[in-house]
Amino acid sequence: MATVKKTTKTTSESAAKGKTFSDEERAAMKERAQEQKTAARRGARASKANGETDVLAKIAEMPQADRTMAERIHTIVKSSAPDLSSKLWYGMPAYARDGKVVCFFQAADKFKSRYATLGFSDDAKLDDGAMWPTAFALTKLTA
């Protein structure tokens, strides 16, 4: 009678070397899941005011340097594009058209970066020729 070999489970090489996602990335995913739960709970009664309140609260939590830039970006976006609605996106202030995020502010502190980011999704339709920027690094706003 043949003997049966038992296999042992091993972790993949990449998992053994380190984590797949950083702590900051996992936190952002948890924030996104919470945002979706909140939106589902609000349901039909959700309004622009809810998103605005959420964004302003998130901005208030930021460290001073990021908060100053986020407040300024928020003011610029709301005055330049009043049709965009404020919402949180992976725990970041974002601005959407018809529910789709077109731009967002990523605080430097969010992923322990040396600069904040003003980014745009493809729904922003910034197409200009064969090449265009989709994000800008921000260290200070002067406007």
**Considering the domain 21-138, what is its CATH architecture?**
Alpha-Beta Complex (3.90)
Whole-number Å distance between alpha carbons of 86 and 48: 7
pTM of the predicted protein model? 0.75
E strand map for 1-143: 85-89, 92-97, 100-106, 116-120, 135-138
pLDDT tens series, the chain, 143 aa: 566 666 555 555 544 556 899 999 998 899 889 888 887 887 755 666 688 999 999 999 999 999 999 999 999 999 999 999 999 999 999 999 998 999 999 999 999 999 999 999 999 998 888 999 999 999 998 86
Short-list 142, 58, 64, CA closest to 105: 58
Q: CB of 91 within 8 A of CB of 62?
A: no
Tell me, what amino acid is at 59?
A: I
Handedness of CA 92, 93, 95, 100 (dihedral sign): positive
